[in-house]
Amino acid sequence: MSHDSGAEKPWGGRFSEATDRFVEIFTASVDFDRRLYAYDIQGSLAHARMLQQIGVLTAAELQAIETGLAEIRTAIESGDFSWLIEFEDVHMNIEARLTERIGDAGKKLHTGRSRNDQVATDMRLYLRDQIDQILDDLASTRSALVDLAEREVDTILPGFTHLQVAQPVTFGHHMLAWQEMLARDAERLRDCRRRVNVMPLGSAALAGTSYPIDRALTARLLGFDAISENSLDAVSDRDFIIEFCAAASLVMMHLSRFAEELIIWSSAQFDFIELSDSFCTGSSIMPQKKNPDVPELLRGKSGRVFGSLVSVLTLMKGQPLAYNKDNQEDKEPLFDTVDTVRGSLKVFAAMIPALHVKRENMKASARRGFATATDLADYLVRHGTAFRDAHEIVGKLVRYGIERKKDLSEMTLTELRQFGGQINDDIFAVLTLEGSVAARNHIGGTAPQQVRAAIQRARGHLPPV
């Protein structure tokens, strides 16, 4: 235990008094940043190899460091590593243990490096990996949506604006709308990854180092695509985390909207879908209940991800150059964001194929809402009526229909012709739901033929699962 002696800290030389125990606990990050251990070791190995190449470490010292770090990794992974608050963070815990194991060679590992460039490197390696995982998770969710779209390519439901019945759409088209949003999310993450994958290592504390380091070598060993151009910038800015949290917030916003639809659709009032029992729970008091807990939780979880975005933005905005300890606060929001997005995408991808789509209920609902009113107006326009006049005529027919509880398609030709003399019996094909969706037959339209083509295009953009 070192809390009675500041001298045992890696930075203890300058200090004559011990750190206050409470301050030690307050400033430590090891409880959460230990999850970076694999990236910290990866970064240290590359740094050590580079140090050996430039003659700072001997081959034997490098060998000792490699063996020591490998043992530490095994100890961590088997739960045999004791993380100490006294050593503050993941970096100093691993380094202290290394020196304990291998002696003097361990003390040389930190040559030409600072925790400032080390932590920035670890965070970037971690985030690069996580983005790749999230892209896989997104791809699974997207392909589940495309599969469902294909299964329900001819299914018709009312499309809504203002949550009022607007025009009929195909369920396949509706599912592909969500797929498009998630495809843009993936694109944003891929773009963000380019700026994440830049190596800060070599920036040292803030100004660079006096050793003749070979940054290109370290970058190659770590798979970085580029090397940071400015040491002050590289150790201090966390814009890459903010950008990721913003992209993650958009993913969650999209999942939340979709979850909201599932919740509405599974209500008794809509009754468009049934969620599989495995994604719902009951009520402890009301025996009839089957609650859509999973979509509700997904909707709710967007809040913490948006919160993380605001946290990191806020922690960054007041910081002068270069590194400040504020940046230690970037970790928990980032880790929480990654966990939340990945968990949400996983549960989503599993829930979608298990959706039971109640085709008849959707269709009946589309029939009730005068969803083909626009088709009738378009028909009148094709027969020479100006659109505004057509709008007026159909409006009157709808009012008539509401009074008599009749959909447009249920009216007789005589009834229809009271309002528009230009209507003939070819109108009935136009007023069917099938006729309405089939008529919207252009790229981006809801016609099943177009949806089939869109499914093929979407599959072409998805990585093979």
Site residues, ligand ARG (CB under 6 A): 29, 33, 89, 115-116, 119, 323, 325, 327-328
**Tokens encoding 76:** 């961590």
If one counts every other C-beta atom within 10 angstroms of the C-beta of residue 305, the result is 26
For 273, phi then psi, to 5°, come to: -140, 165
User: For tokens 């599993």, what's the residue?
Assistant: 350
Cis amide prior to 322 (ω within 30 degrees):
yes
Report the relative pairing of strands 198-199 and 226-227 from DSSP bridges.
parallel
How many residues does this entry show for the chain? Answer: 465
Q: Is residue 442 flagged as an active site residue?
A: no
User: For tokens 């009951």, what's the residue?
Assistant: 282
- Minimum CB separation from ligand ARG for residue 142, in Å? 34
Q: CA 402, CA 373: separation in Å to the nearest integer? A: 13
How crowded is the C-beta side of 433, counted as CA atoms within 13 Å? 26
Residues 6+ apart with CB under 8 A from 449: 438, 441
**Please, are residues 379 and 408 in contact by the beta-carbon 8 Å criterion?**
no
Residues 6+ apart with CB under 8 A from 17: 6
- Minimum CB separation from ligand ARG for residue 450, in Å? 51
Angle at 13 between CA 9 and CA 19, to 5 degrees: 50
**Tokens encoding 249:** 């917030």
Residues 6+ apart with CB under 8 A from 416: 397, 408, 423, 427
DSSP character for 66? H
Q: Is residue 140 flagged as an active site residue?
A: no
Q: Which of 267, 283, 356, 461 is catalytic?
A: 283
User: For tokens 């095994």, what's the residue?
Assistant: 74
Active site residues: 162, 283
